[in-house]
Amino acid sequence: MIRLLSAELFRLELRARMPFRYGIATMTDVPQVILRLTFEIDGRVETGLAADLLPPKWFTKDPKRGLADEIDEMLRVIRAAVGHARMLRAATAFGFWRELYDAQAAWAADQQLPPLLSNFGTSFVERALIHAVCRSRSATLSAALRENILGLDLAALQPVLAGVTPRDFLPVQPPAEIFARHTVGLSDPISAGDLAAGERVDDGLPQTLDEVIRFYGQRHFKIKINGESARDRDRLARMAAVLAAECGDDFAFSLDGNESFHDVASFAAYYRDLLGAPELRALWPHLLYVEQPWHRSVALSDGIGELARGWPDRPPIIIDESDAELGSLPAALALGYAGTSHKNCKGVFKSVINAGLLARRRVAGLPAVLSGEDLGNVGPISTLQDLAAQAALGVTSVERNGHHYFAGLAQFPRALQQHALVAHPDLYVPARQGWPRLDLRAGQLAIGTVNAAPFGVPGEVDLSELTGGSLG
């Protein structure tokens, strides 16, 4: 039997080393929160951790709301999920999560909160619970899923998966290396000429796209667009020239539509315009997929059904922000999408179910994409747990942007820096100033120690220097 005994929430204010523009938001300062939950699991007391940034304008994307209000609301849904969890008793981690998901969803509907936001709170408790169970059984996440230590019942939520277990479609061994797909934000500098006087960051890390490629050996990229055809075309052409010069023919990229369009026809026309541009012709053989070009208000509407009927030669298109509920991926696939993304903030169990649905499609010879995307993962908990989940799901190209927009673990307490360096010498290396940074080589991250740890995070993590404490 599993029950929650106590909860603590810690907060750290972070400042980006340079602005990160995504969609309608530009991130410069953002809180990171760490949740520590203590559970009783079959008579044994164990703790688990979860962490994330609180990124404004992603969960709600409302231009009228203040940033502080949105951050307060994110904290509110986390506290609500913890409150619901206190009332639960379940035999398995999956059973606990199912009850929590339903309780949080009912509360959110009453509060008129969107599912993507409310499930952010659910995912915090879910991740801490998974970490605690993995610790209690000395199990890696991959083993916990494949051996069903967490008690997943896929058919209970997706009847088409009756008789299927995670062992049937998850990798026998998670990949030991993952390509880090470098994010090129909407205003990120492509070359040194894009940096105005005073914008150069002097911390030993690369800043422009060409510098990133030389420094990390980057080969996978995620390029953001905003639907302004002339502007996007110009930036893409400049990126294409840099990629050709620095990578030759050895690169791959995804295109993030940032919810910039409101119907199929407008995006199809925009995409065909890009496709026909001579200066972009060398890019398209390297395209992996297009991510969420349509605004969440229409992305799963009947009108998007034109996607399958009227655009048979479309590129693979996946949902991201619209993957808010358990039924989101099946609805998207029925409309003609090729898949979805995994982010820990959207839930680990949901992504395991999604992976099962996509495995079914793959066997049938249909397009099936489970991508790895980043919501600014930074720090020695959220990054580790995200990489552990991506690897357990078999994702081998994962957007990574936290290490680029933030200076490694420079802003984290010394104890957390040391934990990262000692526990994960294959993943972290000291920067010239001494603080840890991700050790990207040939565009890849070595994650052997992540795969070997309980949900990526081994041992005891000292949070004593962080601000925060009991949730009551």
The enclosing domain of 239 has a CATH number of 3.20.20.120
Q: Parallel, antiparallel, or unpaired: how do β-strands 252-256 and 287-291 relate?
A: parallel
Domain extent for 98: 2-138
Q: What is the DSSP letter of 372?
A: E
> Are 107 and 220 in the same domain?
no
Do 112 and 241 belong together in one domain? no
pLDDT along the chain (472 residues), means of 10: 98 92 80 97 97 87 80 96 98 98 98 96 98 98 98 96 97 98 94 91 95 98 95 97 97 96 96 96 97 96 90 96 96 97 97 98 96 89 98 98 94 97 98 96 98 97 92 74
Same domain, 32 and 130: yes
Residue 157 included in any domain: no
* pLDDT over 90 percentage in the chain: 89
Q: CB neighbours of 313 closer than 8 A, spacing ≥ 6?
A: none
Q: Which amino acid is at 269?
A: A
Report the C-alpha gap between 469 and 10 in whole angstroms: 6
Residues 56 and 199 in one domain: no
Query: Do residues 88 and 215 both lie within one domain?
Result: no
pLDDT at residue number 379: 86
- Nearest partner of 224 among 203, 205, 209, judged by Cα: 209
187 in the same domain as 288: yes
Does one domain contain both 132 and 180?
Answer: no
Which residues lie below 8 Å from residue 285, measured CB to CB, with a gap of 6+?
none
Residue 224 near residue 185, CB atoms below 8 Å = yes
Q: Is residue 12 part of a domain?
A: yes
Looking at the DSSP bridge assignments, the partners of residue 180 are: 398
- Do 280 and 203 fall into the same domain? yes
Candidates 374, 404, 372; CA nearest to 174 is 372
Domain stops at, among 97, 119, 138: 138
228 and 175, same domain (yes or no):
yes
What pLDDT is recorded for position 62?
74
pLDDT of residue 204: 93
Q: Give me the pLDDT at residue 331, please.
A: 97
Q: What is the pLDDT of residues 236-288, one digit of tens each?
A: 999 999 999 999 999 999 999 999 999 999 999 999 999 999 999 999 999 99
In a domain, 69, yes or no: yes
Task: Clarify whether residues 203 and 274 are in a common domain.
Answer: yes
On whether residue 144 sits in a domain, the answer given is: no
Specify whether 310 is located in the same domain as 402.
yes
Give the ranges where 165-283 is alpha helix by DSSP (H): 209-216, 229-247, 264-275
Residue 171 and residue 218 share a domain: yes
Residue 238 lies in a domain: yes
The number of distinct structural domains making up the chain is 2
Determine how many CB atoms are found less than 10 A away from the CB of residue 88: 17
**Cα dihedral 386/388/392/397 (nearest 10):** 60
In a domain, 203, yes or no: yes
Which residues in 306-345 are b (16+ Cβ under 10 Å) and which e?
ebeeebeebbbbbbbbbbbbbebbebbbebbbbbbbbbbb
**For residue 44, is it within any domain?**
yes
Is residue 160 one of the residues assigned to a domain?
no
How much is the pLDDT for 472? 63
